[in-house]
Amino acid sequence: MDTRRFRGFDGAEIAVVEIGAGRPIILLHGLFSSGEMNWRRYGAAPEIAGAGYRVIMPDFRAHGLSAAPHDAAAYPPDVLAMDIEALIGQLGLTDFDIAGYSMGARTLVRLLARGLRPGKAIISGMGLEGLTGGTARADFFKKVVRQPDGWPSGSPEAFAAAFMKQNKVDTAAVGLLLNSFVSTPIEALHGIETRCLVLCGADDRDNGSAPALTLELPNAALAEIAGNHMSAVTKLDFGTAIAAWLRHPH
């Protein structure tokens, strides 16, 4: 698996790994994660590639092998969506599908709200309140970035801080990135006509209600798998559910 280098909206380097061949699908990872951690390590990407897809996995800026600038000007509102728009242009993609987990799902919805029209979209690890109140979730992570130690054992803050340290996150860059999050008004969700799968762990409430999100999207189905926000993405069912829905969206 070779890592290719592309340019974000401002020329910052975006690292991309591809596997498989066939219809293109872009997979967007979550906060403090990477294409490797979110999509490849636990088998989701190979499962999707095996269903006949060219799987394209960028690392967002401030994550993985991509650039992590420490300049606030490198993180305007919607920067992650702007980077993916730039990547789609450089890859010359016109007919493709797209999926995102957690922050990747929030970015995917921002792309749809900004006018992206993929064939199909998979919004995973995300609920309604995480989109309409996306800045509140950012505030939670800003707190953890500012104070990575001293949280009560087993608390949401302690889990987030441990994941951040495990992935050797550049906290200065991610702190700036969190300022770029934009909420999506419910009216914008009502205007998204793309066929969507809302996929979530049955015990995942980190970003609000996935069933409520499904009801607000005009053309969406809901699938739940076992697990919470941290564990669902590691389960074989995660990639299997995506691959099955891509083959037979209903």
Indicate if the pLDDT at residue 249 is higher than 90.
no
Indicate if the pLDDT at residue 180 is higher than 90.
yes
Q: What is the pLDDT of residues 8-41, one digit of tens each?
A: 999 999 999 999 999 999 999 999 999 999 999 9
Locate all alpha helices (DSSP H) within 14-69, ordered by sequence.
Answer: 35, 44-50
Average pLDDT over residues 118-138: 93
Chain mean pLDDT for the chain? 96
- Structure confidence at residue 195 (pLDDT): 98
The pTM of the full predicted model, rounded to 2 decimals, is 0.96
- 51-65, 105-119, 136-150, 172-186: the lowest-pLDDT one: 136-150
Q: What is the pLDDT of residues 63-108, one digit of tens each?
A: 999 999 999 999 999 999 999 999 999 999 999 999 999 999 999 9
Which tokens hold the place of 79?
């920067």
Indicate if the pLDDT at residue 1 is higher than 80.
no
Average pLDDT over residues 139-156: 92
Name the burial class of residue 192, with classes exposed (0-12), middle (13-18) and buried (19+) by CB atoms within 10 angstroms of its CB: buried
- Look at the alpha carbons of 178, 202, 159, 208 in this order and tell me if their dihedral is positive or negative: positive
Indicate if the pLDDT at residue 131 is higher than 70.
yes
Neighbouring CB atoms inside 10 A of 163's CB total 17
Of all residues in the chain, the percent with pLDDT exceeding 90 is 95
Contact 68, 173 (CB under 8 A): yes
Q: What is the pLDDT of residues 37-47, one digit of tens each?
A: 999 999 999 99
Indicate if the pLDDT at residue 250 is higher than 80.
no
Which is higher by pLDDT, 135 or 128?
128
- Structure confidence at residue 218 (pLDDT): 97
Q: How confident is the model at residue 248 (pLDDT cuts 50, 70, 90)?
A: confident
Locate all alpha helices (DSSP H) within the chain, ordered by sequence.
Answer: 35, 44-50, 79-91, 103-113, 128-132, 134-146, 156-166, 171-177, 186-190, 210-216, 236-247
Task: Please state, in angstroms and rounded to a whole number, the distance separating the CA atoms of residues 54 and 189.
Answer: 28
